Structures are given as C-alpha cells and as structure tokens.
Amino acid sequence: MPFPSLESFLNHYNNEEICSSFLFQLKWPLGFCCSECNHGRAYAVTTRRLPLFECASCKHQHSLTKGTAMENSRTPLRKWFIAIYLFASSEDGVSAINLSHTIQVTYKTAWLMLHKLRDALDQAECDPLLNGIVRVQGGAYGSPFNPYTEKDPQRHPLLAGGSVHDTGEVDVLRLRIIDPQHVQPNGYISHDGEQEFIKDAVSLTAAEVKSVRFRLHRSCFRPLVRCIAEFSSWANLTFHGLGRKYLQAYANEFTFRYNSRQQRQPLLARIFQICSNQLTPTTLRSLTQKYRIS
Ligand SMILES: [Zn+2]
C-alpha cells in the first residue's frame, strides 16, 4: 500500500462496507478459510453492525474483527482506519488527545485505541533481536542531565541496547524501562536487571556484547546515549511527558518507529497487516498486567 494523502485515504475508505472488505482481505488474503474445519466457503450474515461469516460446511460463525486490534471495540471501523493512518503517517505518531479530536471519540477511547495498536506491535514482536556487535547503555527518561538528581522520583531508569554498525550507527534499537528494584542507590542498574534485558533482547548468536550500566559513566556509548535523548524528546514533544505506568509501551512504539526507519519498511501496510490477525484482545486489564510496576 503506497502512502496516500489523508484526503485520498478518507475518500477511499469512506464507509464501513469498504473498510470491512479491506479487513476481510487482510484477514483471509487467500480467501475465506474456516479455522474449525478448513472449509473455503462462507455465507455473510449481514444482520449485525459488522458482517459475520458462517462456514458453509460446519456452520461456525466467524467475526471479522476476531483476532484483530479492533476486536470487542464498538468504534466504527472507519475511525479505526483513520487512527491507523495517523499512527503510521506521522513520523512521531499521534497523541490520544489529538486522535480524540480528529475522529470524535472520547479521550479514553482514543487512549485505549492507541494502546491497542502499540500492543499489536508488541504481540507481533516487531523489533528484531540484537545481533552482531551489541552495546548496552544505562540511561534515564524524565529529568534533564544532572548528576545531583539521581534520586529524582520523576526519573525513570532504562537500558538502551543496540546492534551497532561499523560506522558506530545503531542499526537495531531496543529500550527497556528498568524496574526500580534493579537500580542501586548509586544510580547503577543492577547486574540482574542488565542480564534480564540481555536475555530478552540479545540474540544468542551475537558476536560481542558490552555494556555500561551507569548513565553518567565516562566510557558511555554515545550513539545509544543519543537514542535515549531522542526517546526523551519524542515522549515530551508528542505526548507532553509520560509517567512510569505505561512507559514501556511508549518505549516499544519508539523502537518500532526507529527500527522500521532503519529497515526502510513501509509503515502503513505493515501496521494494517499486524493489526488484522492472530492477536489476543487487549484490554485495560491486560495492559495493566503487562506493564505492572513492582
Ligand atoms: Zn468450518
């Protein structure tokens, strides 16, 4: 899908039927296939707001939105499509307040829609594992560089990991917000905290892994320090600052954008693809559990 202007996107996806048939194609690109019996034909049951597809063989009824980011949502598909467009089209993403104004939904609905998109990216495990020459750098989000504010409650320690290119550029980036229990009084991130991150984010085939756990250390990895600074400015400019609770979800959105840019991947088509199949429904409760702070 080439990147259309907002106007042409709105003109094309101008009613629920067009949005449903596009979602149908994304969900069943090779034509309908019953997940219960593999039969290839279905009848559309059109008495609902969104059509159901009843398998012609076993009669199982398939919801169009089941397994998609839109599952269990009462928001019209067209509004979802506009949200996906805005999420993908702007290099910096979109805040819930801006989305709520644009598609005329409450702030709470817009907030949850954007978190469902972030969670879809997270479930699809879009960020590759770090490989090759890997560097890990301690840092923090939330307060300006100041060696005297180590205990600032608004400062959220994090680790940035990167696959580093020969030129020093970070090819693949991962960010991990660190649980406060893994931060020592002197500001160092604990060895356990670092190892947990490396276990999750670094490939077993990485050629070399070196890390600096303290953000102010003189031998810090400057390209990663820059990435942390970019993450901080992005969070402050796009969202006017973020609290600790869902910070990891935003960090994941940032690395998804960073890595997609590095790999020159077309965002709109990719996000539609990711949002259209094989997802576990995201709810406020599932988000709270996923990003629980200890
Ligand atoms: Zn069937």
Give the Cα separation of 59 and 42 in Å (integer). 8
Q: Residue 172 Cα, ligand 1 centroid: separation in angstroms? A: 42
Q: Residue 77 Cα, ligand 1 centroid: separation in angstroms? A: 25
pLDDT for position 248: 94
Give the Cα separation of 253 and 127 in Å (integer). 10
How many domains does one find in the chain?
A: 1
CA distances from 105 to 80, 101, 276 (A): 11, 7, 22
Q: Residue 25 Cα, ligand 1 centroid: separation in angstroms? A: 18
CA distances from 87 to 46, 132, 248 (A): 30, 31, 18
Model confidence pLDDT, tens digit, residues 176-200 = 999 888 888 777 788 999 999 999 9
pLDDT for position 147: 47
Q: Residue 51 Cα, ligand 1 centroid: separation in angstroms? A: 17
Q: Which structural domain, as residue segments, surrounds residue 147?
A: 133-244
The parts of the chain modelled with pLDDT lower than 70 are 1-2, 143-154, 215-216, 293-294
Q: Residue 57 Cα, ligand 1 centroid: separation in angstroms? A: 5
Give the Cα separation of 88 and 200 in Å (integer). 26
Long-range contacts of 124-128 (CB under 8 A, 24+ apart): 124/274, 124/279, 126/256, 126/259, 126/260, 126/274, 127/172, 127/173, 127/174, 127/252, 127/255, 127/256, 127/259, 128/172, 128/259
Is residue 13 domain-resident?
no
Q: Residue 193 Cα, ligand 1 centroid: separation in angstroms? A: 47
Q: Residue 28 Cα, ligand 1 centroid: separation in angstroms? A: 14
Q: Residue 196 Cα, ligand 1 centroid: separation in angstroms? A: 43
Is residue 254 domain-resident?
no
Give the Cα separation of 187 and 190 in Å (integer). 9
Structure tokens, 188: 């160092």
pLDDT for position 293: 66
Give the Cα separation of 192 and 183 in Å (integer). 10
Q: Residue 276 Cα, ligand 1 centroid: separation in angstroms? A: 20
Q: Residue 45 Cα, ligand 1 centroid: separation in angstroms? A: 15
At residue 177, what are phi and psi to the nearest 5 degrees? -75, 130
From 93, 101, 80, 105, select the one nearest 9 (Cα to Cα). Answer: 80
Q: Residue 46 Cα, ligand 1 centroid: separation in angstroms? A: 18
pLDDT for position 292: 80
The end-to-end CA distance of the chain, in Å, is 42
Give the Cα separation of 88 and 268 in Å (integer). 5
What string of DSSP letters covers 125-163? T-SPPB-SEEEEEEEEESS-S-TT-TT-TT-EEEEEEEE
Is residue 51 domain-resident?
no
Is residue 68 domain-resident?
no
Is residue 115 domain-resident?
no
Model confidence pLDDT, tens digit, residues 160-180 = 999 998 888 999 999 999 988
Is residue 125 domain-resident?
no
Q: Residue 50 Cα, ligand 1 centroid: separation in angstroms? A: 19
Is residue 70 domain-resident?
no
To the nearest 10°, report the CA torsion of 145, 232, 243, 136: -80
| Contact partners, residue 116, CB within 8 Å, separation at least 6 | 69, 70, 73, 282
Q: Residue 63 Cα, ligand 1 centroid: separation in angstroms? A: 13
Give the Cα separation of 229 and 158 in Å (integer). 12
Is residue 169 domain-resident?
yes
Q: Residue 53 Cα, ligand 1 centroid: separation in angstroms? A: 10
Give the Cα separation of 49 and 251 in Å (integer). 35
Q: Residue 2 Cα, ligand 1 centroid: separation in angstroms? A: 35
Q: Residue 68 Cα, ligand 1 centroid: separation in angstroms? A: 20
pLDDT for position 144: 53
pTM of the model: 0.90
Give the Cα separation of 237 and 246 in Å (integer). 17
For residues 268 and 1, the answer to whether their CB atoms sit within 8 Å is: yes
Which H or E element spans position 253? helix 247-262
Q: Residue 152 Cα, ligand 1 centroid: separation in angstroms? A: 58
Q: Residue 190 Cα, ligand 1 centroid: separation in angstroms? A: 53
pLDDT for position 105: 97
Q: Residue 102 Cα, ligand 1 centroid: separation in angstroms? A: 40
Q: Residue 54 Cα, ligand 1 centroid: separation in angstroms? A: 8
pLDDT for position 41: 94
Long-range contacts of 34-41 (CB under 8 A, 24+ apart): 34/58, 34/60, 34/62, 35/60, 35/62, 36/60
Q: Residue 271 Cα, ligand 1 centroid: separation in angstroms? A: 28
Q: Residue 110 Cα, ligand 1 centroid: separation in angstroms? A: 35
